[in-house]
A and B are shown apart, each in its own frame.
Chain A
Amino acid sequence: MNEIGGTPLFFLEFGDIVVYFTPFTLTLFLLALVFTVFVLISRPERQIDIAFGADAFYAKVISLPELRFRRFMSIACGLACMGAMVTGDVFDFTLLVSLVGICNVGIVAAVKSRHVQNAAYQYGLVALAGTVPLFSAAAMVAATTGTLSMIELAKDAVAIPLAARALLVLGVMGEGMAPFYAAKAEMFRAPGAPYVIMCSLSSLLIFLRVAEVILLL
C-alpha cells in the first residue's frame, strides 16, 4: 500500500473493519486524546461583563446541567475525532466525520444565547448539507471499486473516480465549518470556553486526515 502517513505500526482488526495506526494517524489520534483529557478535567470559564457607569461587574454563573452538557459534547467530539483519525474504512470515516459535525453543533448550541443559537442553527444546516456529498462519496467508492477498505483502495490497481474524491473533500469542508460559526457567534471570548476549542481542533484534525485519505486513495 501507499505509505503517505508512514509505515503502518500496527493493525487492529474488527471483523472486516480494520483500524490501523501510522506515525501520521497516531500523532493525530494522540492529539485528539490529549485534548479530550484536557476537556475532561477543565472547568468552564465564566463570562465577566463590566457594569456600565459603575465600579462593578457581572459574572455569569454556568449551571451544573449546562456544564455537563458542554463537557459531554466535547468529550463525544473528541472520541468521534479519535475514531476518524485511525479508521481504515471509508464509510466509517464519513460516519465519524458526521458525528464530529453533530457534536460541534452541540458544543456551539450549548450556550443559551440567542445569537449563539442562531449561529449553531446555521452551522447545523451546513453540517447536515455536508452529509450529502460525504455519504455519496463513500457510496460511489463502494459502487465503483467493490470495497470500502482503505488498505485495499490504496493498491495501485484500484481506480477511484475523481468525483468521489471531490465529494469527500466537499463533505469534510461542510462538517468542519464549526470554527467559522463559533467565530461568528463570538464564542471564543467567554461563552462556551474552553470547550469550544474542540470545534477548532476537531475541524483541523478531520481536514488533515481527509488530506491523507485523498492522497492514499
Chain B
Amino acid sequence: MSEETFKSVKDLPSTRLLCGGTPMCSGCGALEALHEIYDILGKKTVFVNAAGCMTLLSIYPFTPFRGSWLYTAMASAPAGAQGVRDALDILIEKKQMPPEDDLQVVVLTGDGAAYGMGLSSTSAAIDRELDFLYICYDNEGYGNTGQQFSAATPHAAKTATSKGPRGYPGYKKDLFSIWAAHKPPYVATVVGSEPLDLAKKIEKASELKGPRLIIAFSPCPTGWGFDPKLSVEIGKLAVKSGVWPLKEYIDGKVIHTKIPRKRVPVEEYLKVQGRFSHLFSPKRNEELISEIQARVDAYWKEVEG
C-alpha cells in the first residue's frame, strides 16, 4: 500500500474495528480519532496506553480492541513500548514467532502525558530510534480528572484550575516542534473531523520505521463545555480558523497539508465553547480575543511567507 490508498473520502474504510461499549463520554473527539486511526492500523498492533481517559477503554474484562493493549503509568508509555518492541524482536530473532506475525507498537497517551509528564521518556525513546508509533490525543487538559490545565491548554481557556476572568495564563506548548526537533522520521498533526487527511498520515506513518509521532486534536464536550453533537463541527472550526494547523514533518521539512485559504475568525471557534465563554460574557474581552487572533495570524504569516 502507499499513500495513494486514500485519494478521496470514498476510499476511507467502512469497516469498524474498534467496537462500541466504551466508557468514553458521548461525543468524544479522542475516541472518534482513535477509531479512525485503528481502522487504518488494523488489529496487528499493541497499544501501550499511559494513564488517561483512554485507559478506561479496557477495564477488565472488557476491551474494544481486537488486538493487544496494555497499560502503563502516566510518564512511561514509551518505556513500555521499548519493552514490547524488544520482546517482539527477540521472539522473531529466536524464531519463536514468524516475522509475519510481528505487531506495530503504538503508544497512546493524552496531552497530560505527551506534553508534560511523559515528554522525557518520549525524547529518550526517539533518541534510541525506537520503532514505534506515538498517538497523542490532545484534549488540551487533564480531562479524565475534571479538566485541570495541562501544558497543552490554550491561552485564556477556563479549566478546573484556571477559573479566573482571564482563564489559563500560559500558552499551548508547541509539541509538534519539540518532537520534530529530535529529527524523527515522521511527526504529524491530525483531527478526527478531517478523516481523509488523518488516513493519509496514518498510512504514511505506518509504512515508515523508527519513531513516528502523531498529535490528534480531540474536542472534548465535557471538558471544553459544548454539546456533544458539535464535536466534529468544533474540530472543523479549529482547522478553518487556523487554530489547529494540519501539518507533517518528514525528510527534515514541515509541510502544511491543509492550509485554510480564507481563515474564519478565531472568535467563531471560541464562542461555541464554554471554556471561552468568559471572553464574551458578561462583557466582551476584546483584548484577549484580539491577542488570540493575532497569534494565529502570526503563525500563518510565517507559514505563508
Do the two chains belong together in a single complex? no
